[in-house]
Amino acid sequence: MIKNTPEWEVILTNLCSCTGTDVVLSCVGFKSLTPIDRSQISVSDNECSLINNLYGETDFVFKYVWTKEFNIKIKSRKVAWS
């Protein structure tokens, strides 16, 4: 809890050996009382976009502080095989 407000953690897991590129999340109404690292994720309207690729068999994790949990899910992505 930060300032009596819950901290939420979002974990995106890439289970395959492929690389996820151009990953866009649905994050309708997204807000946070603490700053989001803009070098990692871009927030615009109802979408959040990963700045970097989501490499195979890795996680991307970010946290936010708000009174309620947002329904954040992958909206679109591309797959690159190496």
Map 40-58 to HEC letters: CEEEECCEEEECCCECCCC
Give the pLDDT confidence score for residue 39 in this predicted structure: 96
- Mean pLDDT (whole number) for 46-71: 96
Q: What is the pTM of this model?
A: 0.88
- 9 band by pLDDT with thresholds 50, 70 and 90: very high
- Mean pLDDT (whole number) for 24-31: 96
Which of 60, 58, 50 has its CA nearest to residue 10? 60
Give the pLDDT confidence score for residue 73 in this predicted structure: 94
- 1 band by pLDDT with thresholds 50, 70 and 90: confident
